């Protein structure tokens, strides 16, 4: 029970967490059992006396014996001392290292991270700390969206996580246990960016089974994998290589368009940001108003560039007479200051 709880929170295997510490403690317990049995049967000590002799012999403190040992008892004690010299040194050294070298503090830090992950609701899970995964984490962090990073290799994520104060789980994202530890049942979305298409397909299948309502964004390297990911349940499939090639070509054929898109994506100078606003996010006094009545540009300098009425397609450059009703969404564009002014004024 205890191990399963730690494995859930930390995403580590049993060997990785408890190997040295548990082995040292096991040796100590085994040695005490041997001493207890030996002094009880060889010297016919009571349980308390046998325990006392075992402890003073194991620790080599040299206190007075309960009573003078027989020849058999002395032989047993001699070999017992030799046997325990290495065990005691190993156990004490291992336990000390967990406190002095910071290993205990590291385990505790991972435990607290696991507790925080357990409390998350409607968060995003990012699988993989490669180039795409790192960029996804940066974007989510800039947007102040709660997320959990899942990565198999601790060395790839720990320093990044410490510097950026993010939540993470160390483990194989293709397994049910790790996705459950990351809170897949409570997650709003999952982004899988692993380099192997087969792994992304497997994660998509598993995530869809564990949470039928979760939104799945998956990475693919070729068209056959794209089709499989959609069949597995992905909502959106992104092919970074294809996008990169088109982007490079358009730097030649449509350089001004790419420059403008870079500004919108936040990668150019004087960058702008896009944000989707849903009906429920507005204060009640601003709901069921037309875009003209809201007068967003006048109050915030942000601009409405897209509008979707309930489940219909987006309308670009919407007319001012459109009423913002329940189920509607609008897209606004502006600087971070403009968007913050919108949030302060309307939400």
Same domain, 80 and 7: yes
pLDDT greater at residue 187 or residue 154: 187
Same domain, 304 and 226: no
| pLDDT band at residue 202 using 50, 70 and 90 as cut-offs | very high
Q: State how far the Cα of 80 lies from the Cα of 69, in Å rounded to an integer.
A: 14
Q: Are 332 and 302 in contact (CB under 8 A)?
A: yes
In a domain, 151, yes or no: yes
Q: State how far the Cα of 145 lies from the Cα of 123, in Å rounded to an integer.
A: 7
| pLDDT band at residue 135 using 50, 70 and 90 as cut-offs | confident
Arithmetic mean of pLDDT, 259-282: 73
Q: Are 330 and 279 in contact (CB under 8 A)?
A: no
Domain containing 88 — which CATH number? 1.10.287.70
Average pLDDT taken over every residue of the chain: 79
**What contacts 65, CB < 8 A, 6 or more positions away?**
53
pLDDT of residue 108: 60
pLDDT greater at residue 53 or residue 63: 53
Q: Are 94 and 18 in contact (CB under 8 A)?
A: no
pLDDT greater at residue 184 or residue 64: 184
Same domain, 210 and 320: no
pLDDT of residue 191: 92
Q: H or E segment at 84?
A: helix 71-100
**Structural domain span for residue 197:** 120-243
Same domain, 166 and 194: yes
**What contacts 66, CB < 8 A, 6 or more positions away?**
43, 45, 49, 52, 53
In a domain, 321, yes or no: yes
In a domain, 111, yes or no: no
161 CB neighbour count, 10 Å cutoff: 21
pLDDT greater at residue 253 or residue 180: 180
Q: State how far the Cα of 4 lies from the Cα of 259, in Å rounded to an integer.
A: 51
- Residue-wise burial string across 194-218, b where 16 or more C-beta atoms lie within 10 A, e elsewhere: beebebbbbbbbbbbeebeebebbb
Instruction: State both tokens at 314.
Output: 């987006």
pLDDT greater at residue 194 or residue 59: 194
Same domain, 276 and 340: yes
Same domain, 185 and 217: yes
Same domain, 129 and 183: yes
Same domain, 279 and 309: yes
In a domain, 149, yes or no: yes
pLDDT of residue 18: 53
Arithmetic mean of pLDDT, 5-26: 54
In a domain, 279, yes or no: yes
Q: State how far the Cα of 261 lies from the Cα of 267, in Å rounded to an integer.
A: 9
Instruction: State both tokens at 265.
Output: 């994506």
Domain containing 152 — which CATH number? 3.40.50.720
Selection from 106, 187, 196, 90 nearest residue 147 by Cα: 187
Count of domains forming the chain? 3
Query: Is residue 204's pLDDT more than 80?
Result: yes
Instruction: State both tokens at 183.
Output: 């809170």
Same domain, 21 and 97: yes
Domain boundary among 76, 104, 132: 104
Arithmetic mean of pLDDT, 324-342: 85
Domain boundary among 104, 129, 155: 104
Q: Are 125 and 16 in contact (CB under 8 A)?
A: no
Same domain, 12 and 78: yes
Same domain, 127 and 90: no
Burial class of residue 225 in the structure, from the number of CB atoms within 10 Å of its CB (0-12 exposed, 13-18 middle, 19+ buried): buried
215-219 vs 236-238, strand pairing mode: parallel
Query: Is residue 19's pLDDT more than 60?
Result: yes
pLDDT of residue 4: 39
Instruction: State both tokens at 199.
Output: 């792994």
Same domain, 229 and 283: no
Arithmetic mean of pLDDT, 26-50: 84
In a domain, 112, yes or no: no
């Amino acid at each position: 029970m205890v191990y399963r709880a730690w494995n859930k929170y930390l995403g580590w295997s049993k060997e990785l967490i408890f190997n040295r510490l548990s082995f040292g403690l096991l040796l100590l317990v085994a040695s005490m059992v041997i001493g207890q049995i030996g002094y009880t049967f060889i010297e016919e000590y009571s349980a308390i006396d046998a325990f006392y002799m075992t402890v003073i012999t194991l620790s080599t403190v040299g206190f007075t014996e309960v009573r003078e040992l027989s020849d058999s008892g002395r032989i047993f004690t001699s070999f017992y001392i030799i046997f325990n010299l290495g065990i005691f040194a190993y156990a004490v050294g291992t336990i000390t290292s967990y406190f002095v070298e910071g290993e205990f503090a590291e385990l505790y830090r991972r435990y607290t991270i696991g507790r925080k992950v357990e409390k998350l609701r409607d968060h995003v899970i990012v699988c993989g700390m490669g180039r795409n995964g790192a960029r996804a984490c940066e974007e989510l962090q800039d947007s102040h969206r709660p997320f959990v990073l899942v990565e198999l290799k601790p060395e790839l994520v720990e320093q990044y996580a410490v510097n950026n104060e993010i939540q993470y789980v160390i483990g194989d994202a293709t397994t049910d246990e790790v996705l459950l530890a990351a809170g897949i049942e409570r997650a709003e979305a999952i982004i899988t960016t692993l380099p192997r298409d087969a792994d992304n397909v497997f994660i998509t299948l598993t995530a869809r089974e564990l949470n039928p309502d979760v939104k799945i964004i998956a990475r693919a390297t070729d068209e056959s994998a794209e089709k499989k990911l959609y069949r597995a349940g992905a909502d959106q499939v992104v092919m970074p290589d294809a996008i990169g090639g088109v982007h490079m070509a358009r730097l030649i054929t449509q350089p001004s368009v790419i420059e403008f898109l870079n500004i919108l994506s936040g990668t150019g100078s004087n960058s702008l940001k896009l944000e989707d606003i849903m009906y429920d996010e507005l204060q009640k006094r601003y709901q069921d108003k037309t875009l003209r009545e809201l007068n967003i540009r006048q109050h915030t300098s942000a601009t409405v560039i897209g509008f979707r009425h309930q489940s219909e397609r987006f309308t670009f450059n919407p007319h001012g007479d459109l009423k913002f009703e329940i189920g509607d969404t609008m897209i606004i564009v502006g600087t971070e200051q403009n968007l913050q002014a919108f949030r302060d004024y309307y939400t």
